[in-house]
Amino acid sequence: MSNLTFLPRVAVTTDLKSIGGHPTYAVTQKYVDPLLPLSGVLPWLLPSMGAELPLDAVLGDVDGLVFTGSPSNIEPHHYGQALSNPESPADPARDATTLPLIRAALARGIPVLGICRGFQEINVALGGSLLQEVHNTEGFDDHREDDMLDVAGQYGPAHRVQAVPGGMLASIVGVDSWEVNSLHGQGIQTLAPDLLAQAHAPDGLVEAYTYQPARRTDAGFVLAVQWHPEWQAAQNPVSRAIYAAFGNACRQFAARKRGDSLARAA
């Protein structure tokens, strides 16, 4: 982390789930903990309030957003498909929160980091589609975790990814291939038009992308990955590089925002 004189504020998405019979906004601790030491940002937990959430107020107060992973899946009607598995866990309140939030954040150039479900959300929000069951799709491997393993085993290295040569992610991590964990049942079917693949799994599945709209040159920092860089992030050089790059982007965005505010006040 750089210094503590100024900490950019970063909103972290939550799920809406029942805990002890009570509706609860919740996020797994592992998504929050790396942000302060590795990115140098102050995390704020964002409730999944759907249409009740005032997007302009939220985005006016933050310098970055993290769209987290989750056990739930995006409801497929958001990308024009019928539900293939009635037992697929859903979180419609989160869908109603994150999909419009993503579009609004990208329009403002706010730095964004997407992880697992967050990776899938950004794709869907921008017009892409998902494979609802990668393991049942011809030509693709089973990317789910092994339920017979403990948590540490499930988050252990599962396969390599190959970075797109010359891409932003390859530049950030400084290598062209590395091992990742794999704990997802769904994946990219069609990449949204404004997204650019940055890494692939051995079976060709998109594992990372950036946002590069043809109509804009100031899109800002957007990076999303299908794996879980937050797991033991401090011990993983690729994860450390990703979190550092995100934190730098948040600081730069915050500095520009403060500069604009000072200029308007002068």
Which residues are catalytic, by number?
A: 116, 228, 230
Element (H, E) at 200: strand 195-200
Sorted by sequence, the CB contacts under 8 Å of residue 227 that are 6+ apart come out as 116, 161, 180, 181, 182, 183, 207
The encoded tokens of residue 155 equal 């988050």
Q: How far apart are CA 160 and CA 153, in angstroms?
A: 16
Hey, which residues does 64 pair with through a beta bridge?
Answer: 10
Q: How far apart are CA 60 and CA 257, in angstroms?
A: 10
Q: How far apart are CA 112 and CA 223, in angstroms?
A: 6
Look up residue 254 and give its amino acid: A
Give Cα 50 distance to the centre of its chain.
18
Q: How far apart are CA 209 and CA 214, in angstroms?
A: 15
